[in-house]
Amino acid sequence: MKIQTLLLLLCMMLPQFSQADGPPKKQTYPEGLLSLNPGGELWSDIRQRGDSVLDGTSQVKGVDSGILINASGVEWANFRVNELTTYSSIALAAVFVLIFLFFLIRGKVGIEGGLSGRMVKRFTDYERIVHWTLAVVFLFLAITGLILLLGRPLLIPLFGKEVFSLLASASKESHNLVGPLFLVSLLMMLFSFVRRNIYEKGDLTWLLKGGGFIGDGHVSGGFFNMGEKTWYWIVILIGLVVSVTGLILVMPIFGQGRIIMEIVHVIHVICALALIVVSIGHMYMGSVGTEGTLEGMKTGYVDINWADAHHDRWGKECHEKDLIISAEEYDKLVGTSSVNEADGSKTT
């Protein structure tokens, strides 16, 4: 009953408002009335048009609770839907095209003389666990993040709105939950590998010669070459930015307002996208792009010829310290096959 009365009163007031919105008429205003169109000016202030920013008051106490309409939010939403989505799609497509072209031109980067079967320990179990933990968490976040970013234009036409809404909800919740694990695994990565990723003399030469991937010239490298070190620091530094911005977005409890959240969101997306794009290159080079590389992260051992070809300074150290093991020893250590002690025959 009260609502009906209220609606009736509002309806009675409407003509007065419509008169106020009409063209200004020459008439005398009561004392104290300063504007010809107070309703229009009020809405102009509420929408934050012009120089003045209206900060109202509200029973609700909180950040930005006095602002009815956030004008910058519209700009952010438009930027997110138009520019961010479009350029992200182009960047992702471009990296796949570049990798495909690189593969066509260069093919799989082999090792001179092929693999010897004699192996050398490159990574400990712990280091590989750290690498794969970060990789698993990163891939999960990348997939769910891309669903949230590009799902609307790409997935709705394929699966329809209902399926996409379900997928988006699942992605958002899981992305927010798993997100902080990225920071944890990133810190594990930082402390495990930092010592060997400090730039040293000779790294610049590697860069200037294109890492040996361009042309046929041999490029000298230590345990990690310049490319790997740069990838490491990209992961750490941009990863930290992604993590911190992610935490700011997922925990709006530190007084961060809408404008901060909008800026942080854009930084988060751009940095995450940069990581995704470079990581696709890393995945290619670490697997099908280079012969014998994946073995290092699978078993912890690499072929000595691989070490000599890509990390000759470290390879030389392995030779000098006699760290190379035979194929049989390697098989025993990693458990890929068993050697029959009696006749020496090997079964894989």
Partner 1 sequence: MIENLIDGPLWYLSLAVFSLGVLWQLAAILFASRKPDLSVARGSAGSSAIKTVFSRFLPHREMRARIGIQYIAGYLFHLGLFALLFFAAPHVLFLEENLLGFGWTPMPHWAFIVSAQAAFLGLIILWLRRLMNPATRLISTRDDHIAALLTFVVMLTGCLALLEEFTALRLLHRFTVELWLIYFPFSTLMHAFTFVPSRAFTGAWFGRRGVDA
Among 137, 226, 248, 302, indicate the residue that binds partner 1 (CB under 8 A). Answer: 137
CB of 6 to partner 1, least distance (A): 32
Is 103 near partner 1 (CB under 8 A)? no
Is 18 near partner 1 (CB under 8 A)? no
Is 139 near partner 1 (CB under 8 A)? no
Tell me whether residue 16 or residue 338 sits nearer to partner 1 (CB atom): 338
Contacts with partner 1, 257-296, as mask; x by CB under 8 A: ----------------------------------------
Q: How far apart are CA 61 and CA 67, in angstroms?
A: 11
Among 70, 142, 156, 180, indicate the residue that binds partner 1 (CB under 8 A). Answer: 180
CB of 271 to partner 1, least distance (A): 22
Q: How far apart are CA 77 and CA 81, in angstroms?
A: 6
Q: How far apart are CA 324 and CA 315, in angstroms?
A: 10
Question: Of 116, 325, 317, which is closest to residue 223 (Cα–Cα)?
Answer: 317
CA-to-CA separations, 280 to 135, 158, 207, 231, in angstroms, rounded: 12, 24, 20, 12
Is 69 near partner 1 (CB under 8 A)? no
Is 170 near partner 1 (CB under 8 A)? yes
**Pairing state of beta strands 346-347 and 119-121?**
unpaired
CA-to-CA separations, 318 to 1, 81, 279, 315, 331, in angstroms, rounded: 88, 53, 29, 5, 19
Tell me whether residue 58 or residue 165 sits nearer to partner 1 (CB atom): 165
Is 178 near partner 1 (CB under 8 A)? yes
DSSP 303: E
Q: Residue 62, class by beta-carbon neighbours within 10 Å (0-12 exposed, 13-18 middle, 19+ buried)?
A: exposed
Stretch that binds partner 1, among 9-17, 32-40, 161-169, 225-233 (CB under 8 A): 161-169
CB of 346 to partner 1, least distance (A): 16
DSSP 29: P
Is 207 near partner 1 (CB under 8 A)? no
Q: How many residues bind partner 1 (CB under 8 A)?
A: 25
Q: How far apart are CA 347 and CA 338, in angstroms?
A: 6
β-bridge mates for residue 121, sequence order: 301
Tell me whether residue 75 or residue 173 sits nearer to partner 1 (CB atom): 173
Sign, CA torsion 291/294/299/304: positive
Please give the distance of CA 26 from its chain centroid, rounded to a whole number. Answer: 61
Is 136 near partner 1 (CB under 8 A)? yes
Tokens of 86: 């479009």
Contacts with partner 1, 317-346, as mask; x by CB under 8 A: ----------------xxx-----------
Is 132 near partner 1 (CB under 8 A)? yes
Tell me whether residue 65 or residue 174 sits nearer to partner 1 (CB atom): 174
CB of 117 to partner 1, least distance (A): 18
Please report, as ranges, the residues that interact with partner 1 according to CB under 8 A: 125-126, 128-129, 132-133, 136-137, 165-166, 169-170, 172-174, 177-178, 180-181, 184-185, 300, 333-335
